[in-house]
Structure 1
Amino acid sequence: MLCRPGAASLSGMTGATLDRPILAPAPLRLVRAALALLRRLVDYTLILLLAAMLLIVFAQVVGRYLFNHSIPGADEAATFAQIWMVLLGAGYAMRQRLHVAIELVIERLPVPAARLLLVPVAGLCLWFLWVVGQGGLLLMQVGAWQTSPGLQVPMDIPYAMIPIGAAYFALEAGLSFGAAILGLEKVTTGGGVRVD
């Protein structure tokens, strides 16, 4: 991170040192780089899942109505892609603060009280995601003994998205709630629907 010139002069630095950037500690830079890489990977995975789902459904429609031939397992593959996309996309929506939130009480509170109220809210959300992740792991154990009817893949592969999606959602929720609680971001999103 680069330091603002005003902040550098407050810490007693001379004018000559203002030209050099002040970098964050190496572990923090590594964490930021890993988070950026993970987010980029999630973005590309969501794009690929959407493209795969659209192509599979399009191929199935063309095959069924033009050639009177159904592609075996196409419906199942499109369904799995959609499920993976939704569960992974929930974390993306959390990153963009696009989830529905009832902020009536928080908007009426003073900022310190609103931040304090976010602590149990964050705790409940993270606890819920923990329960979902644990349930997904149990479902994967059951799914390891089953195969899907169309694609004949072990069902623990499609079920793996439940704990993966819950873990990514928890990461983004923790970062979002943490930033609001620590005062790095606004407590509320401002209401309304984002259209950008």
Structure 2
Amino acid sequence: MSDLLDSAVRGFYRLIEIILVLCMSVMLVMVFGNVVLRLFFNTGIDLSEEMPRFAFVWMTFLGGIIGLHRRSHLGVDMVVQALPVLGRKVCWAISQVIMFICALFIFYGTWLQHDIIAGNASPVAQISMLWVYGVSYVTGAAIALICLSNLIRLVQGKVPDNELIDVHEEGLTEGLEAERDMKAQQMAGGAKP
């Protein structure tokens, strides 16, 4: 059962990544095509003004899910790093609870506005704006589930200490490992003579 759930979760994140690539492709093709048409033919496609904006909305909301899943959001960890492990766990739990509440507000706010959003049509494509802003249902639910899962793992003691700091600077791990190796070599070199 656990393997089935894990493969379903991996499939969900893979689907989101595919949708993000499609959104980026739509934005690139439509905006570039419209620029070429306006520059060389003094014309344009009205739809290519609207669809890239909608794709950008989807990319922003779905990218937030992937960012939380990969723990790649920006943050400041100066205070948290100075805390003992128990303090880090408390801070991590507080941040997960706050994100959980915010995700519920995103979902609930979309639900409150559902009829208004569904009743409005986009000016050019004439599609329901629910197809644009309805992505916040997915985002709110997914972020709430991720945070709830993290809190359950914390209570069960399955959160490793290195996960308690959500900030991971690019290249920092490699730099720290290189520094550690260099110090080990210096100590080994100094101990030989």
TM-score by length of structure 1 reads: 0.77
- 2:132 is aligned with 1:134: no
Partner residue in 1 for 2:169: 192
Distance 2:50 2:8 in 1: 33
User: Aligned ranges for residues 38-49 of structure 1 at < 5 Å?
Assistant: 38-49=12-23
- 2:138 is aligned with 1:164: yes
Shift of 1:134: 1.1
Q: Would the aligned equivalents of 1:88 and 1:169 in 2 still touch at CA under 8 Å?
A: no
Over the aligned positions, Cα root-mean-square deviation in angstroms equals 2.2
Distance 1:136 1:65 in 2: 39
Residue deviations 1:21-47, cap 9 Å, x none?
A: xxxxxx211211110110111111111
Residue deviations 1:60-98, cap 9 Å, x none?
A: 111111111110221110000000011100111112211
Task: Describe the shift of the 1:114–1:55 C-alpha distance in structure 2 as closer, same or farther (beyond 3 A).
Answer: same
Partner residue in 2 for 1:124: 98
TM-score by length of structure 2 reads: 0.78
- Determine helix, strand or coil for the equivalent of 1:144: helix
Structure 1 residue runs of 5 or longer lacking an equivalent are: 1-26
Partner residue in 1 for 2:70: 96
| Aligned-partner residue type, residue 40 of structure 2 | L
Task: Describe the shift of the 1:179–1:99 C-alpha distance in structure 2 as closer, same or farther (beyond 3 A).
Answer: farther
Structure 2 residue runs of 5 or longer lacking an equivalent are: 175-193
Richer in helix (by share): 2
- 2:56 is aligned with 1:79: no
User: Aligned ranges for residues 20-31 of structure 1 at < 5 Å?
Assistant: 27-31=1-5
Distance 1:177 1:45 in 2: 28
User: Aligned ranges for residues 58-73 of structure 1 at < 5 Å?
Assistant: 58-73=32-47
Deviates more, 1:46-55 or 1:133-142: 133-142
Correspondent of 1:150 among 124, 128, 134 = 124
Deviates more, 1:174-183 or 1:116-125: 174-183
Distance 2:119 2:167 in 1: 48
Number of residues of Structure 1 aligned to a counterpart in Structure 2? 170
| Aligned-partner residue type, residue 55 of structure 1 | V
Task: Describe the shift of the 1:103–1:31 C-alpha distance in structure 2 as closer, same or farther (beyond 3 A).
Answer: same
Instruction: State the identity as a percent.
Output: 24
Shift of 1:190: 5.7
Q: Would the aligned equivalents of 2:74 and 2:167 in 1 still touch at CA under 8 Å?
A: no
